Amino acid sequence: MEALKTSRRPQGKVFTSLCFAFEDRNFFQQKLRSFLTVYLLLALSFLLIITLFAVSLSRVSAVSSKLNEVQPERRHNFSSRDSLLFPCGPGSREWEYFDGKCYYFSLARTSWHKAKAHCEEMHSQLAVINSYAKQNFVMFRTRNERFWIGLTDENSEGEWEWIDGTDYKTTFTFWKEGEPNNSGNNEDCAHVWVSGKWNDVYCTYECYYVCEKPLPN
């Protein structure tokens, strides 16, 4: 009997070893299946990303081609929201709107003739102040500084003229007391004085300037 018991013990060990081996095999198979599932999901995700990228790229190309077909002049049109925020145009944000026109207040000083030329380069002119409302607007913006306006009597002493042809004799004026006085016999250009009132001075004097232009179409 002892011999029989002894002979059965190794068989039990073999059986146990086989069970462990089988369990290990199942464990590795499960792990392998898990890894395969993860890799498959990663591959599908990659393909989905590539597909979405291709679709987005095709849409961008389509939009770009449509934009290139737009007429050049229509590209300069701005939206209704931009027109409310920047009535003088999105490219003219340094211009200020007042009563149907746009105004530019310079940041550099120069002579009257150079100021006139600078305004013309910007498709505008030196400001013509022909109403008390415009005077108040300009006076508020130019307080404590001198700014050229589009008024001169260079052509004939004492015969003041607005550069746009506005009749000086029948329109609004706002001269400083005692002005214009042609001091030194060479004061032929007008600027807004620090008080907001007008003063005549020699045209080579350097001060700031105000340009005006109509609203863009």
**Residue 45 falls inside a structural domain:** no
**Residue 51 falls inside a structural domain:** no
User: β-pairing, 147-152 with 208-214?
Assistant: parallel
Q: How far apart are CA 92 and CA 121, in angstroms?
A: 14
User: β-pairing, 198-201 with 189-192?
Assistant: antiparallel
**pLDDT computed for residue 154 by the predictor:** 96
**pLDDT computed for residue 75 by the predictor:** 47
**Residue 111 falls inside a structural domain:** yes
- Whose tokens are 């020699």? That residue is 202
Omega into 214 within 30° of 0, i.e. cis? no
**Residue 107 falls inside a structural domain:** yes
**pLDDT computed for residue 181 by the predictor:** 96
pLDDT in tens, the chain (217 residues): 444 444 445 555 555 554 555 555 665 566 667 777 877 888 888 888 888 888 878 787 766 666 566 545 444 554 555 666 678 988 788 999 999 999 999 999 999 999 999 999 999 999 999 999 999 999 999 988 999 999 999 999 999 999 999 999 999 999 999 999 999 999 999 999 999 999 999 999 999 999 999 998 7
Number of helices and strands in the chain (H, E): 5, 8
**Residue 193 falls inside a structural domain:** yes
**Residue 14 falls inside a structural domain:** no
**Residue 12 falls inside a structural domain:** no
Provide φ and ψ at 114, rounded to 5°.
-70, -35
Query: What is the domain extent for residue 202?
Result: 96-214
Domain count, the chain: 1
Q: What CATH number has the domain bearing residue 103?
A: 3.10.100.10
Q: Is 150 helix (H, G, I), strand (E, B) or coil?
A: strand
**Residue 142 falls inside a structural domain:** yes
Q: Which helix (H) or strand (E) holds 105?
A: strand 101-105
Q: How far apart are CA 12 and CA 149, in angstroms?
A: 115
Overall pTM surpassing 0.85 (yes/no): no
